[in-house]
Chains A and B, each alone.
Chain A
Amino acid sequence: MNFKILKKLARSNEWQLLYSRAKELGTLRLFKNDTDLTKAQIWMLYLLEMFSSLYLDLAMKENYISEEVIEDDLRCEAYLLYRKGKKSEEKFNGYKDKNKRVTPSDIPGVQFIRK
């Protein structure tokens, strides 16, 4: 399978537009068959979702993403790896905060004022 060409198609405006409309409408079909997908079709869906998320990151002005990165396969791979690491780090920090034990000093003090 020519992965390079599959990526080129998935990255294209035409397929990205089709993919986003298909997700929105739910009735638009990307392939002639709805079930029993081939490996090529599964890869195509994966790549469409991947590029869709990259274009979203670009629109959200995330760090280290640019048109140049999206056009370059190796830099795309590098960015996705970086993003995965960043997300799991964020998830871990969130988990740490959630499970942080409350110590007496964390409880807000109450001040009684005599009138």
Chain B
Amino acid sequence: MEKEQKQQKQIMAKEALAAMQDLEDSVKLENIVKDNKIEFKSGDKMFRVRKPNLEEQQEIDDIRRKKYLELVRDDSYLFRKQWVDTYKKKGVDIIKMETDIKRIEAETKQLLLRLAKTTDKKIIEDLKNQILKLRDEMYAISMEKTDLLSYSIEDQITVYAKSYAAYLALERKDNDKWVKHFRDNEALQKSEDTDLVSKLFYYFDYLLYSGV
């Protein structure tokens, strides 16, 4: 009896903690939505990331173009299409993966239309489970495809430009003033402050990309 009560207490504590986390996340996200800057602490210093301004955006585009030319000239880098052909020779069919994704999307759409028109609770639950199962399957294929193509020129450019943008967007609070933290992108690349770097990319993604 006592053991049961203890277990119940633990479950309630976990639920309360999850609810608190949810509330905290809501407040955090609401602040981000209202003001497109995110402040965070790393070590004993305060940092913030913000959206790059127009001038910085042009700088990022410029860097992206230069890196693109560099990678195109390097024979060890391949375009997405070239990777697709290379994988096909090794028995990995990326085109089939894309077809499978489209098929699952079409099946999901049909189930969603059935879900919209039903009010029966049992059927609703059943349809929802089927949809979620199909989505899991689709995400797995999509993730595999993304992993396989991550070394392509297109993906490498995106990663590089994102890193450069993150370096531009990171600021440190010094005597109530916000100053740029890293001298250049290379300093960010070489940084050993893993806590700061991981928080920077986490919040930068949060701010800029729809990584939902």
Contact = CB atoms under 8 A, between A and B. Distances in A.
Interface in A29-77: 30-33, 36-41, 43-44, 64, 74-75, 77
A28 to B, nearest CB: 13
Interface size class of B (residues with CB under 8 A): 20 to 34
Contacts of A40: 29, 32-33, 36, 206-207
B67 interface: no
Chain A facing B: main interface SS = helix
Given A8-B26, A39-B209, 8 more contacts: A5-B29, A9-B26, A31-B36, A33-B35, A36-B54, A40-B207, A78-B112, A79-B116
Choose among A74, A82, A85 the residue with the greatest number of B CB atoms under 10 Å from its CB: A74
Contacts, number: 82
A24 B41 CA distance: 39
Given A1-B209, A32-B34, A38-B208, A78 B115 contact: yes
A64 B117 contact: yes
Contacts of A92: none
24 contacts: A2-B212, A3-B212, A5-B25, A6-B33, A9-B26, A9-B33, A31-B34, A31-B36, A33-B35, A33-B36, A36-B36, A36-B54, A37-B36, A38-B208, A39-B208, A39-B210, A40-B206, A74-B112, A78-B112, A78-B116, A79-B116, A81-B116, A82-B116, A82-B117
Interface string B95-123: 00000000000000100110111010000
B113 A1 contact: no
A77 B208 CA distance: 24
Nearest to A86: B116
B116 A5 contact: no
B109 to A, nearest CB: 7
Interface string B171-212: 000000000000000000000000000000000011111111
Interface of A: 1-3, 5-6, 8-9, 30-33, 36-41, 43-44, 64, 74-75, 77-79, 81-82, 85
Contacts of A39: 207-210
B128 interface: yes
A44 B108 CA distance: 25
A41 B33 contact: yes
Nearest to B111: A78
Contacts of A75: 115-116, 124, 128
B113 A6 contact: no
A38 to B, nearest CB: 4
A43 B212 CA distance: 11
Contacts of A30: 34
A54 B63 CA distance: 44
Contacts of A79: 116
Interface string B40-76: 0000000000010110000000000000000000000
B144 interface: no
B131 interface: yes
B23 to A, nearest CB: 10
Max chain A CB contacts within 10 Å: which of B22, B115, B205? B115
